[in-house]
């Protein structure tokens, strides 16, 4: 894959989801990180990106952006917000999940995601601790959340999501037989050789994720060869 193709890929598809939501993760501020965590919980469901963005905007509208605010809003209030944001298919289930996760985060880590990171021994333990916050948090949600915290949290280093792996293999960036951990190493090496000024590895991963979604939805051939 030529560098000009990498440039086209990243510039067209690589904008971070957190930035699109107006969330600033650059300084690792706990409140901003929590906002992204909330958004990641919403992105974790098989639902349209536009619906997630609209739903997150509703949480902003009603000032429900901390663990305490979510708990104080209660189940009925959360369902109302989720429904207003077009999250109707998963409203009851997501309200249950949010309340469970916030209770566990509050009781175990005093409501601080930074504390989760501090107490984790390494990257994999961090992922394990996040999943333990609630049964509704799986690999997809953890990958979404931690991907955009690379370079912000020292222990944030998740393996690429399946859609990223699929896109990278189709583009010939990584070997077809590579495992998820091998893919991460190969992607980092590739990015180091083709790094673009003003862009990060996270932008590269995000572009591959969106491309992977496009393959899944339309069955297209790679447009960036």
CB distance 216 to 222 below 8 Å: no
Instruction: Write out pLDDT tens, residues 148-166.
Output: 999 999 999 999 988 899 8
b or e along 191-215 (b: 16 or more beta carbons within 10 Å of the residue's beta carbon)?
beebebeebbbbbbbbbbbbbbbbe
Instruction: Write out pLDDT tens, residues 107-119.
Output: 999 999 999 999 9
For residues 31 and 10, membership in a common domain is answered with no
Give which of 74, 59, 70 is closest to 23, Cα–Cα.
Answer: 59
Instruction: Write out pLDDT tens, residues 121-145.
Output: 999 999 999 999 998 899 989 999 9
Tell me, yes or no, whether 102 lies in a domain.
yes
CATH number at residue 80: 1.10.340.30
How many degrees, rounded to 5, is the angle at CA 113 between CA 49 and CA 52?
10
pLDDT for the residue numbered 66: 98
pLDDT for the residue numbered 95: 97
d(CA 167, CA 201): 15
For residues 66 and 101, membership in a common domain is answered with yes
pLDDT for the residue numbered 213: 84
pLDDT for the residue numbered 115: 98
Give which of 204, 216, 212 is closest to 9, Cα–Cα.
Answer: 204
For residues 7 and 90, membership in a common domain is answered with no
Q: Out of 147, 168, 185, pick the residue that ends a domain.
A: 147
pLDDT for the residue numbered 65: 98
Q: How confident is the model at residue 1 (pLDDT cuts 50, 70, 90)?
A: confident
* Mean of all residue pLDDT scores within the chain: 93
pLDDT for the residue numbered 219: 61
Tell me, yes or no, whether 110 lies in a domain.
yes
Q: How confident is the model at residue 224 (pLDDT cuts 50, 70, 90)?
A: very low
Instruction: Write out pLDDT tens, residues 7-51.
Output: 999 999 999 999 999 999 999 999 999 999 999 999 998 888 899
Tell me, yes or no, whether 223 lies in a domain.
no
């Amino acid at each position: 894959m030529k560098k000009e193709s990498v440039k086209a890929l990243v510039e067209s598809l690589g904008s971070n989801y957190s930035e699109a939501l107006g969330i600033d993760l650059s300084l690792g501020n706990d409140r901003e990180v929590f906002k992204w965590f909330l958004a990641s919980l919403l992105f974790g469901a098989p639902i349209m990106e536009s619906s997630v963005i609209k739903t997150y905007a509703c949480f902003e509208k009603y000032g429900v952006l901390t663990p305490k605010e979510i708990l104080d809003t209660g189940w009925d209030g959360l369902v109302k917000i989720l429904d207003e944001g077009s999250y109707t298919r998963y409203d009851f289930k997501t309200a249950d999940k949010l309340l469970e996760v916030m209770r566990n985060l509050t009781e175990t880590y005093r409501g601080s995601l930074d504390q989760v990171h501090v107490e984790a021994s390494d990257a994999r333990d961090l992922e394990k601790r996040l999943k333990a916050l609630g049964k509704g948090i799986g690999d997809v949600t953890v990958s979404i959340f931690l991907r955009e915290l690379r370079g912000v949290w020292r222990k944030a280093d998740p393996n690429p999501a399946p859609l990223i792996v699929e896109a990278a293999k189709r583009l010939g960036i990584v070997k077809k037989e590579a495992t998820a951990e091998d893919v991460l190493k190969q992607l980092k090496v590739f990015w180091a050789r083709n790094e673009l000024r003003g862009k990060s590895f996270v932008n590269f991963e995000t572009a591959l994720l969106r491309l992977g979604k496009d393959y899944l939805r339309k069955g297209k051939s790679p447009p960036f060869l």
